[in-house]
Structure 1
């Protein structure tokens, strides 16, 4: 039996129609679910909270020349990071712990402490994200210093 172009075209068209019908049917089933909108809202709220918490919370970057301000920033980032990791928001927690490491004078020692105190998957995520977080913090500090220089002029 030889398959002609017409037969092949009809088979492909029929398969496409069946697939489209399958998609429409399950989309309607999903939308009929009474908890769908509630779940969708919760998912969007969680995503929004993660994105706002994953940056420097209040936008207050420390003055690099002020040792007290740097120390305060360091402690605040450690506390925020630990709290977020404890509550299950590991991405934002790792972000804050990375910021603390970026401003720490003894980063190697702090990393060895973290290696012993936090779970291995979170520590590996921290190591993976550390260059990105450090670079972002460095750029933010650089932008802040430029703004301060412009204010002086």
Structure 2
């Protein structure tokens, strides 16, 4: 028995229709589930929290004795800070810039550049937050159980 193109086309069309019907049926069953919206909301909140936490963390702290790792960390923090500020997330952006300033070997020069390039209110927020960020970084690098390590454990 020879299969013609027409027969093959009809078989493929029928299989596609059955698959689409299967998808629609189970989507309806899923949406009828009384816990669906609750589960969906919880999943989205968890993803958003994880996303926010990873963005504010900036990754693990580098080894202070490894100059290249410190440089990569510094550049990563500057980049994340700029991206978050551009996205309108001032607190998180300032947090990252504060971490960059805290690990920078030439703090005064970096602050001078940031003062010239940032709007005054954001720069003042950075100055206000800098001691807190620096202390957290020092505590984390000492192994003193600072906030960064506690969130990293998750």
If the TM-score is normalised by the length of the shorter chain, which range does it land in?
A: 0.5 to 0.7
Q: Which residue of 2 aligns with 1:92?
A: 92
DSSP-derived class of the 2:142 partner: helix
Aligned pairs for 1:2-81 within 5 A? 48=49, 52-53=53-54, 55-58=56-59, 60-81=60-81
Q: Which residue of 2 aligns with 1:136?
A: 136
Cα pair 2:80 2:96 within 8 Å, conserved: yes
Q: Which residue of 1 aligns with 2:122?
A: 122
Cα pair 1:64 1:70 within 8 Å, conserved: yes
Q: Cα distance 1:94–1:50, how it changes in 2: closer, same or farther (>3 A)?
A: farther
Cα pair 1:98 1:134 within 8 Å, conserved: yes
Cα pair 2:77 2:99 within 8 Å, conserved: yes
Cα pair 1:54 1:91 within 8 Å, conserved: no
Normalising by structure 2, report the TM-score.
0.59
Unaligned runs of 5+ in 1: 1-40, 145-153
Cα pair 1:53 1:92 within 8 Å, conserved: no
Cα pair 2:58 2:76 within 8 Å, conserved: no
Normalising by structure 1, report the TM-score.
0.60
Unaligned runs of 5+ in 2: 1-41, 145-154
